[in-house]
């Protein structure tokens, strides 16, 4: 085959993400071959490439034709459903690949699956990357945040493509080599966990403003648009402002009010919380967001509970607009509470990444991770630049909470934060994310906790021993015996 006609890279799997990423690659000037088991998807992608500017994209209709249409060393991105479909696609393609070729999985895959595939595919001499891709359909088409981990040689083979395809921010493209093994997938997983927390916190801010402050959707749209020009500037705040503007084309009122209050999920948030537990890393805000999604799924149970508790005498005033509320003050307080809560959520995510990096020897660069999340991805936000700078000041920073700049902001906002949480609780409005963040802050900032009593209890019923604050060593006490002796003395 004439090598001048070969594509620079290939992409297999032409659902929404795959199709848009392929068009993005082609638009950046890299000839690309595409393949999908369903041939109509290939035709659809080729047609889009023609319509969107005669882009250098060619369709292939069999794994063999697809692989042989690529320049050596071949690089193939696969974007199919995680799990068995990835293994099936690798099997179908690798039969025609050679040592030195590269496979890049761009899906939300469990990191241990990636590490297994790295081992398996290396027996054929094929290189492998597990690459997190964030930004949804729009990001894939116009510039995502990319998190490739695995073979550095594989990354080097496609680095020129990735730096052009990724979102661009003032300090570079939103892509970097993450590290070895499944590090790219793990970082993307934690990114998604932080995303869960962000979305939960924003929904709680909305709930308080709407049901305690009595704000209309039009007012909420203006407030979120204003917030998006300040410290909370982010993709999620921006789209939230847009959501509140959309009226229901099929009826009266606004569309957001007609949406069923059951949240879907695809598993990465659950994985994040499970990994936090495995590594003994506190991630209460992210866990609260996951619990929120679980509880939202109990729609019929919640409706029944509302009826039963109303019948039992629960006041109808609970959860309704409070009289005498200073709306302007409430809006400002909620803004500050949301910002402080977000810092805690991001701190939890970064601490989880550190723990895994230490366990696996990945040597993750946390400042660089914050930088590549500044554009393209769902959690992109202006304050990620401040996180980047915090880790540049101190690469071994124990927590964002103790970075001098963030610490100052937390202290400045804690009054507003406590007012919002207290007002929500007294109004019967659940704010599990904000409460979890505040509890995390209050626990982390205390030099002494009531854990001394827990240790005493563990020693009493299980002889687990305890340490003392005044001298070294492990100690055990016959608590019940001594307590009874002491009690007898008191009675006498």
188 annotated active-site = yes
Q: From CA 461, how far away is CA 467, in angstroms rounded? A: 16
Q: How many CA atoms lie within 13 A of 139 on its CB side?
A: 22
Kindly state the helix (H) or strand (E) to which residue 333 belongs, with its residue range: helix 327-360
Catalytic residue from among 41, 109, 115, 188: 188
Q: From CA 238, how far away is CA 114, in angstroms rounded? A: 34
Residue 120 tokens, joined? 């398996």
388 annotated active-site = no
Instruction: Give the strand order in the sheet containing 127-134.
Output: 57-60, 32-35, 9-12, 75-78, 102-105, 127-134, 145-150
Q: From CA 174, how far away is CA 171, in angstroms rounded? A: 9
Contact 100, 170 (CB under 8 A): no
Contact 377, 176 (CB under 8 A): no
Taking the chain, what is the end-to-end CA distance rounded to the nearest angstrom? 102
Catalytic residue from among 27, 109, 195, 409: 195
Q: From CA 470, how far away is CA 466, in angstroms rounded? A: 12
Q: From CA 61, how far away is CA 35, in angstroms rounded? A: 6
Residues for the chain: how many in total? Answer: 492
Q: From CA 7, how far away is CA 334, in angstroms rounded? A: 52
Q: From CA 191, how far away is CA 38, in angstroms rounded? A: 31
Catalytic residues: 188, 195
């Amino acid at each position: 085959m004439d090598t001048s006609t070969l594509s620079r890279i290939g992409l297999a799997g032409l659902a929404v993400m795959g199709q848009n990423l392929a068009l993005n690659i082609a638009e950046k000037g890299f000839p690309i071959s595409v393949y999908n088991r369903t041939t109509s998807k290939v035709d659809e992608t080729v047609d889009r490439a023609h319509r969107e500017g005669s882009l250098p994209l060619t369709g292939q209709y069999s794994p063999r034709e697809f692989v042989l249409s690529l320049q050596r060393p071949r690089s193939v991105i696969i974007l199919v459903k995680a799990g068995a479909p990835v293994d099936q696609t690798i099997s179908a393609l690798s039969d025609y690949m050679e040592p030195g070729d590269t496979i890049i999985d761009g899906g939300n895959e469990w990191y241990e699956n990636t590490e297994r595939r790295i081992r398996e595919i290396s027996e054929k001499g094929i290189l492998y990357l597990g690459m997190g891709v964030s930004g949804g359909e729009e990001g894939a088409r116009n510039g995502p945040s990319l998190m490739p981990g695995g073979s550095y040689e594989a990354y080097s083979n496609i680095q020129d493509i990735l730096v052009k395809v990724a979102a661009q921010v003032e300090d570079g493209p939103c892509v970097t080599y993450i590290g070895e093994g499944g590090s790219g997938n793990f970082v993307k997983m934690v990114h998604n966990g932080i995303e869960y927390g962000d979305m939960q916190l924003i929904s709680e801010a909305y709930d308080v403003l709407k049901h305690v402050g009595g704000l209309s959707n039009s007012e909420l749209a203006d407030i979120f648009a204003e917030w998006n020009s300040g410290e909370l500037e982010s993709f999620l705040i921006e789209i939230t402002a847009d959501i509140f503007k959309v009226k229901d084309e099929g009826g009266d009122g606004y569309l957001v009010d007609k949406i069923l209050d059951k949240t879907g999920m695809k598993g990465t948030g659950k994985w994040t919380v499970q990994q936090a537990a495995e590594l003994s890393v506190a991630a209460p805000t992210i866990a609260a967001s996951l619990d929120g999604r679980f509880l939202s799924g109990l729609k019929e149970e919640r409706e029944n509970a509302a009826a039963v508790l109303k019948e039992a005498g629960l006041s109808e005033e609970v959860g309704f607009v409070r009289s005498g509320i200073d709306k302007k003050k409430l809006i400002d307080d909620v803004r500050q509470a949301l910002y402080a809560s977000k810092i805690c959520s991001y701190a939890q995510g970064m601490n989880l990444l550190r723990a895994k990096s230490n366990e696996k020897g990945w040597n993750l660069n946390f400042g660089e991770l914050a930088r590549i999340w500044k554009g393209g991805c769902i959690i992109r936000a202006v304050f990620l630049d401040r996180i980047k700078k915090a880790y540049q000041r101190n690469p071994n920073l124990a927590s964002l909470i103790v970075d001098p700049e963030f610490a100052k902001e937390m202290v400045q906002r804690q009054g507003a934060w406590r007012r919002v949480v207290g007002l929500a609780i007294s109004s019967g409005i659940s704010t599990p994310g904000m409460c979890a963040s505040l509890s995390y802050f209050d626990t982390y900032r205390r030099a002494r906790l009531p854990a001394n009593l827990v240790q005493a209890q563990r020693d009493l019923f299980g002889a687990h021993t305890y340490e003392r604050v005044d001298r070294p060593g492990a100690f055990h006490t016959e608590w019940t015996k001594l307590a009874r002796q002491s009690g007898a003395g008191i009675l006498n």
